[in-house]
Amino acid sequence: MLLLVIGVGLNLLQLAEPVSHIPPVAHRVGSFESPIHLPIWLNLALGCGAVLARMERALRLRYSSLLDAAGH
């Protein structure tokens, strides 16, 4: 679960930067400079790890109060 949260969190932070530089988005909410800049190989490893962690949770059908109850 830790790998899933870290992987998604770091990748979302880095994805927010290029999205915030799109002119209509930048005009509306401003631009965002990500405080974290990881090498591409580490981004891919974290993304793959997050996908594998999510698949493992889905296949085991485990409940996590942190992740599953947040949507309720």
Render the chain in DSSP notation, one character per residue: -HHHHHHHHHHHHHHHHHHHTSHHHHHHH-----S----HHHHHHHHHHHHHHHHHHHHHT---HHHHGGG-
48: confidence class by pLDDT, cuts 50, 70, 90: confident
* Segment 38-53 mean pLDDT: 84
Query: Is residue 29's pLDDT more than 80?
Result: yes
Q: How many domains is the chain partitioned into structurally?
A: 1
Angle 16-23-27 (CA atoms, 0-180°, nearest 5)?
90
Q: Are 9 and 38 in contact (CB under 8 A)?
A: no
Name residue, tokens 């981004």: 43
Q: What is the residue range of 38's domain? A: 2-71
How far is residue 50 CA from its own chain's centroid? 8
**What pTM, to 2 d.p., does this model score?**
0.54
